[in-house]
Amino acid sequence: MRRVVITGMGAVTPIGLSKEEFWRSLLEGKSGVSHITRFDTSGFSVRIAAELKNFSPEKFFPPKKVRRLDRYTQFAICASREAVEDSEIDLSKEDTEKIGVIIGSGIGGIETWEEQHRKLLNDSPRFVSPFFVPMMIINSASAEIGIEFGLKGPNFCVASACASSGHAIGEAYRIIKDRRADVMLTGGTEAAITPTAVAGFANMKAISPRNDEPEKASRPFDKERDGFVLGEGAGILVLEEYEHAITRGKKPYCEVAGFGMTCDAYHITAPDPNGREAARVIKLALGEARLETVDYINAHGTSTPLNDKIETMAVKLALGEKNARKVAISSTKSMIGHLLGAAGACELIACVLSMRDGIAHPTINLENPDPECDLDYVPNKARKIKIESSLSNSFGFGGHNSCIALKTIS
């Protein structure tokens, strides 16, 4: 069987516009949550989010391109550029028919949709941009990345809510293993901090209304948690067939060793209270990776009452109570909020960097542990730990579950 490795990564997040800045901020326990600045939140019950406040598209794109790319696609291209540079791959020497792109997004170009809908209602149909549809559609990010680098291999998008980028990375892994490509750019992107999205999430009571303490609003596994915090950004990884990477002289970060996907088939937003399918997806990833347990888990860890409790239960069911209590677990969302379709990719990057540096980043704001969330969540301070294997969990609305297993190269 062909082995699949990670050779490049790029990230634009609320706490860093590169993977290394993102990583340093995670280790420092820096929160990216603050009051929303992208629109007037007067009248909104929730006025906080994890925005990319320092992201200026004009620094990365010419003016015409800025006007023709939704924010979520801008994020994806910027992260992809960093990932390709990090991989040190010379595309001019590669068969671009063997290099593909799979990008996940839960919502896609909602900012463009809202803007053009306002024009339709307030002005007239003739004011709607001719670029409206190609900017808004959810495959725009994967298509634009293909165009950016001239990649002609498999190219499509994945939309499975908060599991989108986990599924995208898993599918890219499968495509390389199945010899349909040698290299894949994959991950996720999201830019859904918009009036409609914030109002919708707030009205369904999914996001935290802790407006007076934004930096403390995302508190996974804490007894006082009251919802996730909406975030935005992108994470992109270069997956590559092992021999292909070695032949061109690139040392991989680690190996993608296993992938699992299941469905709760229970409810459109709530996880199944028995946690069985969340546990099974972990077991599937472990089984393919030929692991019984791991050293580290980057949890889905949303800071919602149900998710954190049931994910804890699922980890115990999958690993067994004894092994589960030995594993260090972090929630990246405690600092960057929930990036929806980009969450899994950014969290997998955190897993890779944890393995590279031998350190688990903290779960911040874990001040009052929930008795029902009783595992080792690396509270509030980063911890040195040898990590030879890790898991990244992603669970989405609709019961979509994904899990990716990583191992050090042997």
**Catalytic amino acids?**
162, 300, 338
Nearest alpha carbon to residue 18 among 59, 67, 49: 59
Alpha helix positions (H), 137-275 = 140-149, 164-177, 195-203, 242-247
Cα-based angle 186, 158, 99 (whole degrees, multiple of 5): 35
Counting other chains too, the contacts that 112-118 makes at CB distance below 8 Å and 24 or more residues apart are 112/70, 112/136, 114/194, 114/195, 114/196
Q: How far apart are CA 81 and CA 85, in angstroms?
A: 6
Cα 333 to chain centroid, rounded: 10
Could you tell me if 78 and 16 are in contact, meaning their C-beta atoms sit under 8 angstroms apart?
A: no
Q: Whole-angstrom Cα distance, residue 265 to residue 64?
A: 44
Tokens encoding 352: 């890779």
CB-CB contact of 162 with 106 (8 Å):
yes
